[in-house]
Amino acid sequence: MLKRFLIVLSILSFSFTVTAQEVVTVGSLLEEMVDRDGITYSRANTYRTLQASSYNRLSVAPNQPGWFADSDGIGFIRQEGNEWVIMEHEGPGAITKIWVVAFYYGLNNTTGNNVKIYLDGATTPTIETNLFDLILGRGIFPGPFARESVRAGNSYFPIPFAKGCKITVDDKPFYNIINYRAYSPGTVVETFSIEALKNYSQTIDSVGKRLVETHEADSGILKSMTIKASSDAVVELKNGAAAISELTIKYSNSPTPSQLRHLVLEGEFDGQKTIVAPVGDFFNSGPKVNSFEMWERSVSADALMSCRWVMPYQRSAKFRLLNLSDSDITVEFGIKSKEYQWRENSMYFAATWHRVGPKPTFPITDLTMLELEGEGLLVGDQITVLNPAEGWWGEGDEKIYVDDDFARNFPSHFGTGTEDYYGWAGGVVPNPVDEFSQPFLGNVRVASPNSLGYNTCSRTRVTDAVPFSRRLRFDIEASCLTRSSWFNLLYSWTVYWYQKPGTICKTPTNLDEVALPVMTLAQLQAHNESQRASLGSVAGAIEAEDRGQISMGSGILRRIRSFKGAIKKASISGGKFVDYRFNKPGQELVFRFSEKFKMTSVKFAVITGKNQGVFDVFVNGEFVQTLDLQGTPWTPLEFGLVDLGEFQPVENRIELKFIYKGGSRRVQYMGIDYFLVSDEK
């Protein structure tokens, strides 16, 4: 039986007004960035938030080949002469966020291409500049609206348009993501012009200063409380319609991972429980406190955790701190409140948390971070990943389905990678030097060395928030560069949104998941080693049964096999290999390995024997050698490791192609056990 004590707090009241914007302008969108109250009112019938990106166009539908295709920097809408169209929309709207990786087909190329932004059907671009200058704050958009993060840049400067927008680049596209609003027909929009930078200069200056000012937590009423093990504490607020403007929690001493994860924050408004999340995760800390400063959340150097998303209610509000740990926890709990005008379109603040794993990295799957039925606004999220090996853990693309997206079975938001979604970029394996926090983005914690351990990223959405009127699902791919059925990652995440009364969360927090012990790095490594040993996988192997070919010539047959009979004693990685059967010279088999930015070693393990054929081998279109699997020095029915050498990636990928030349029989085979493709020395 949980033991409980109750604290009733009065409210510190402050008045404010909400003014409806009749005309969308650069100035109104800038003011919206810092309007914490305005975001609490539903926008579902005002605009849709859409996304254009360079995702790989091989992805056409779930459960079809290509759904998890990499090489997400190659997509575009079409080519028009010497320009590539990367975004296009007809009707009133506004660009709200542009993310671009700040290197161009190679870490040493920091010049990139040029961008043109055409508005309202004009044949002359309103903006024509170097794309990197635009998103790094070196061009027409000043900081903090455009600034560098890590190997990438983000521009939040609004670009409204009355009739339409087209964005092109003058050379082949690379990784890019553009978020924009599509306003309802009839919405009056003042189209962006260069003169707007002067006309709204005071607003630009004022909003810019507010976005980057250091926040000093102001909790209003602050109460110290000790929540005993397997007990809870309740804080109630009763004062009619009001809103919480700031929520703070500070542990009495440096919290352990268990105290951060097993102290649960619950929030209930007008009898509806909409917030259930571990305290550490709710405040972007996961199992360890890191200081950071974002627009709506921050953690100070002395571990004072603050949340500034406004939380309105009509009649009553109640918070509960639930201690699922086996020790007492003492915290200071603070609430600052103000008056609030509850309207028909007002919404409650909500948050949910989940843990998944240990989760194998193959086969790749979509993780559902949030699913809702009703009406509301997606405003942010954070993800924490325990990575058991040095290397990159976050290849997964985000996929956000809104309303009509479900009928067409394709998301209106399809991203290019986890780090891209959170506003920075890869190219190299991240280390703590890559930590940053900005108003709307945070790479809050990067484990060392080379992301080994717990890593946390976060994103806040304001002008790029996602409204929904009936249904929303937010997925992200569970994908990394080590893809094997034995290699596991541990995921946890928190998602934040506003919802109209009656909205149903189909992915609620499971307290049994919260109560699980906080997994350590050593425990996950031991789990993976056990899985690998049981399969007999070679260290670093990309199993052929896990990594399918991207192209297979007509007439080639593929089957996954285990060792049987005479060859069961041979060494095999992962317990399986893939047999390809060829029957016509000239048949081609192609594999692709993405996200390679440096000289890369290419090796693969093959079966030898009298039924194996002869093949020409190419890397990135260049002939490397002829491979005669009948005439190798290895004993038949064993495996041999073919070392092709080192190669410079082309467009950040290694492409391995086999062309069948024939053999001693009409039908010949090539058995592949695994690949070793690495740019790490």
Could you tell me if residue 579 is inside a domain? Answer: yes
The pLDDT score that the predictor gives to residue 563 is: 63
Answer with the one of 177, 212, 247 that is the final residue of a domain: 212
**CATH assignment of the domain containing 666:** 2.60.120.260
Instruction: Please check whether residue 161 lies inside any domain of the structure.
Output: yes
By residue range, what is the domain housing residue 56?
26-212
Residue-averaged pLDDT of the chain: 90
Give pLDDT, residue 653. 84
Residue 55 lies in a domain: yes
pLDDT of residue 294: 96
Quick one: pLDDT band at residue 544, thresholds 50, 70, 90?
A: confident
Strand 3-9 with 231-238, pairing: parallel
As a whole number, mean pLDDT of residues 69-87 equals 93
pLDDT surpasses 80 at 548: no
Nearest to 391 by CA among 322, 446, 348, 437: 446
Q: Which of 133-142, 218-227, 358-367, 416-425 has the lowest mean pLDDT?
A: 218-227
Mean pLDDT of 384-408: 96
CATH number of the domain within which 95 lies: 2.60.120.1390
Residues 353 and 493: beta-carbon distance below 8 Å: yes
User: CA nearest 174: which of 71, 59, 58, 68?
Assistant: 71
The 10s digit of each residue's pLDDT in 567-585 is 444 567 877 889 899 999 9
Q: Which one of 195, 212, 229 terminates a domain?
A: 212
User: Rounded to the nearest 5°, which phi and psi values hold at 667?
Assistant: -110, 125
Residue 494 in domain: no
**pLDDT in the model for residue 565:** 41
Q: Give the end of a domain, one of 176, 193, 212.
A: 212
Inter-residue contact 262 to 328 (CB < 8 Å): no
Q: What is the pLDDT of residue 631?
A: 60
Helices 201-212 & 26-33 angle (0-180, nearest 10): 10
Alpha carbon distances (Å) from 560 to 156, 603, 659, 671: 48, 20, 20, 10
Residue 468 lies in a domain: no
Q: Is the pLDDT of residue 281 over 70?
A: yes
Distance of CA 379 to the CA centre of its chain: 14
Look at residues 426, 428, 397 and name the one whose alpha carbon lies nearest to residue 414.
Answer: 397
Band the pLDDT of 540: cuts 50, 70, 90: confident
Tell me the mean pLDDT in the region 533-539.
79
> Do 32 and 462 meet the contact criterion of CB atoms below 8 Å apart?
yes
Give the residue-averaged pLDDT of 392-420: 96
Indicate if the pLDDT at residue 507 is higher than 70. Answer: yes
**Mean per-residue pLDDT, 306-312:** 97
The sign of the torsion formed by the CA atoms of 132, 134, 140, 143 equals negative
Decide if 564 is inside a domain.
Answer: yes
Burial class (CB in 10 A: 0-12, 13-18, 19+), 292: buried
Per-residue pLDDT tens for 666-681?
A: 778 888 988 999 887 6
In the three-class reduction of DSSP (H, G, I as helix; E, B as strand; rest coil), residue 379 is classed as: strand
The end-to-end CA distance of the chain, in Å, is 56
Mean pLDDT for the stretch of residues 456-476 = 97
Q: Which residue has the higher pLDDT, 641 or 14?
A: 641
- Looking at residue 483, its pLDDT comes to 80
Mention every residue, 6+ apart, whose C-beta is less than 8 A from residue 216: none
Q: Considering the domain boundaries, does residue 547 fall inside one?
A: yes
Q: Is residue 73 part of a domain?
A: yes
Q: Is the pLDDT of residue 379 over 60?
A: yes
d(CA 462, CA 468): 14
What's the structural domain count of the chain? 2
pLDDT recorded at residue 247: 95
Q: Which helix (H) or strand (E) holds 280?
A: helix 279-282
Structure tokens given for 379: 């405003």
Global pTM?
0.88
Measured at the alpha carbon of residue 402, what is the angle toward residues 398 and 403, in degrees to the nearest 5? 160
Percent of all residues in the chain with a pLDDT value above 90, rounded to a whole number: 73
CB 261 within 8 A of CB 519: no
Whether the pLDDT of residue 5 is over 50: the answer is no
With contact defined as beta carbons under 8 Å apart, do 294 and 309 qualify? no
- Whole-Å CA distances, 636 to 361, 561, 582, 612, 643: 33, 17, 19, 10, 19
Torsional sign, CA 480, 483, 487, 492: positive
